[in-house]
Structure 1
Amino acid sequence: MRHKYLQLEVEISACRTQGLQQQAVLAIGQELNRRALGGPAPAAWINQVRHRGSLLGSQLEDPLYSDQELAYIQQGEEAMQRALGILKDQEGWKKESRQANGDEVLSKVIPDVGKVFRLEVVVHQPMERLYEELVERMEAMGEWNPNVKEIKVLQKIGKDTVITHELAAEAAGNLVGPRDFVSVRCTKRRGSMCVLAGMATLYEEMPQQKGVIRAEHGPTCMVLRPLAGSPSRTKLTWLLSIDLKGWLPKTIINQVLSQTQESE
């Protein structure tokens, strides 16, 4: 009986995460269509944050950051560098699934991270509109992303870093229990490319909630680039890593997730 319950819970867990990337990308495109119709290495960069040069010789300086804020900034930078490093390494990726339109989900196992998933798609929207929806209107994500029930910005630090709380949408039957995430997110523009990265963090003002399992993202990132020869479309590369926590072994979650993706 316990074995059957374990199998049922694993299946429910898979339903929570199956097709996560494809569903979200599709939802982004649908939301944007609806609207249409109606830097340097982390350590070097952190050392420059406290005191920046004045603009055109003025004596004005950016506000100083607290040690905790600097720690969040550095954590966001490190998440971005780690995620980009994973994407840059072309070795060891295995095909998980392939869609009829040619989109593929790849995966590999990273030491100290676990299994990560990579998706590359072309979104039929300009990069600036994607940036607006994913960054500037982040708190509205729950209105169109089927995997997100609610997302709130808990703290904004400078121009590029935010702390967020995300409540995942509940799975059918809710046998696994609701999950939430507290993450530090970092956004950088590098020429025509935009990188959105993040990872789990600790935030005293948002302790673990009763009855909700605190899951973890990261490192994760989205890389947005205008499609060569077609600036009205965007190439999106998404690196996804999620630890659902709870008592289910990661190996079982990854195995069921992989099988589910292949069946889509």
Structure 2
Amino acid sequence: MDPALAAQMGEAVAEKMLQYRRDKSGWKICREANGVSVSWRPSMEFPGNLYRGEGIVNGTPEKVWGCVKPLAGTLRDQWDENVSSFEIIESITDTLCISRTATPSAAMKLISPRDFVDLVLVKKYEDGTLSSNAVNVEHRSCPPRPGYVRGFNHPCGCFCEPLPGEPGRTHLVTFFQTDLSGYLPRSVVDSFFPRSMAGFYANLEKAVKKFYS
């Protein structure tokens, strides 16, 4: 992929993620438990929903980031039950890459295995916040594979934010805007994401303790 075009696309996605982060309007809470809140609103990108998760994770931003970062050396496929494999297809810079993420079947196998090919940009802000910003792309070396339905991530990612006065804890905000493709009842998709996102936070906290204690 042309590096200049990739960088331009990555920055556009990062700007859109900041807009999601700042815009407090239109969100409807669909799940709250154990300090984690999951909200949704209709997506402007596709005929589905944009989901937002928010919660506090015990662990420094660096440790939390070490478990969620979508770059080479990630621990994500070792703890996230919704990720069966993660690979870098092309490294464009040290903060910009194209990745392939495979997911296992879910919802009692109503959702079959999926894979996603994304352009991913990592950013660090002046306040210490680390963010991942991703969007689906096509790549010549990663066509659809047998046994997987190719899904599409519209602008999505996360913000690992320091908590003032609490250096050992992280405010984590996540955004999912995923077209799972295939022939899935809307009710299955709408029930899967909130439950999956709540489980993500619980499993992440266990992972931080496991890998960094």
TM-score range normalised by the length of the shorter chain: 0.7 to 0.9
8 Å CA contact 2:114, 2:180 repeated in 1: yes
- Percent sequence identity is 24
The answer for the alignment partner of 2:103 in structure 1 is 168
**Higher helix share goes to which structure?**
1
Write out aligned runs for 1:57-136 (5 A): 68-99=2-33, 101-113=34-46, 114-135=48-69
The answer for the alignment partner of 2:175 in structure 1 is 239
Q: What is the TM-score with the length of structure 1 in the denominator?
A: 0.67
Partner of 1:148: helix, strand, or coil?
coil
Select which of 177, 180, 191 maps to 2:112.
177
Instruction: Write out per-residue CA displacement over residues 128-162 of structure 1, whole angstroms, 9 at most, x where no aligned residue.
Output: 12223333555432111111100001111112101
What is the CA–CA distance in structure 1 between the aligned matches of 2:158 and 2:178, rounded to whole Å? 14
What is the CA–CA distance in structure 1 between the aligned matches of 2:74 and 2:165, rounded to whole Å? 32
> Counterpart of 1:77 in structure 2: which amino acid?
E
| Superposed CA RMSD | 2.4
Partner of 2:159: helix, strand, or coil?
strand
8 Å CA contact 1:139, 1:153 repeated in 2: no
- Stretches of structure 1 that go unaligned for 5 or more consecutive residues are 1-66
What is the CA–CA distance in structure 2 between the aligned matches of 1:148 and 1:170, rounded to whole Å? 10
8 Å CA contact 1:195, 1:221 repeated in 2: yes
8 Å CA contact 1:115, 1:254 repeated in 2: no
> Counterpart of 1:162 in structure 2: which amino acid?
C
The answer for the alignment partner of 1:11 in structure 2 is none
Aligned residue pair count: 195
What is the CA–CA distance in structure 1 between the aligned matches of 2:189 and 2:110, rounded to whole Å? 18
Q: Label 1:260 to 1:88 Cα distance change in 2 as closer, same or farther (>3 A).
A: same
Q: Label 1:259 to 1:124 Cα distance change in 2 as closer, same or farther (>3 A).
A: closer
What is the CA–CA distance in structure 1 between the aligned matches of 2:3 and 2:188, rounded to whole Å? 34
What is the CA–CA distance in structure 1 between the aligned matches of 2:146 and 2:19, rounded to whole Å? 36
Greater Rg, structure 1 or structure 2?
Answer: 1
**Higher strand share goes to which structure?**
2
- Is 1:205 the counterpart of 2:141 in the alignment? yes
Select which of 71, 77, 81 maps to 1:146.
81
Partner of 1:76: helix, strand, or coil?
helix
What is the CA–CA distance in structure 1 between the aligned matches of 2:150 and 2:30, rounded to whole Å? 27
What is the CA–CA distance in structure 2 between the aligned matches of 1:98 and 1:230, rounded to whole Å? 23
Q: Which moved further from structure 2: 69-78 or 208-217?
A: 69-78
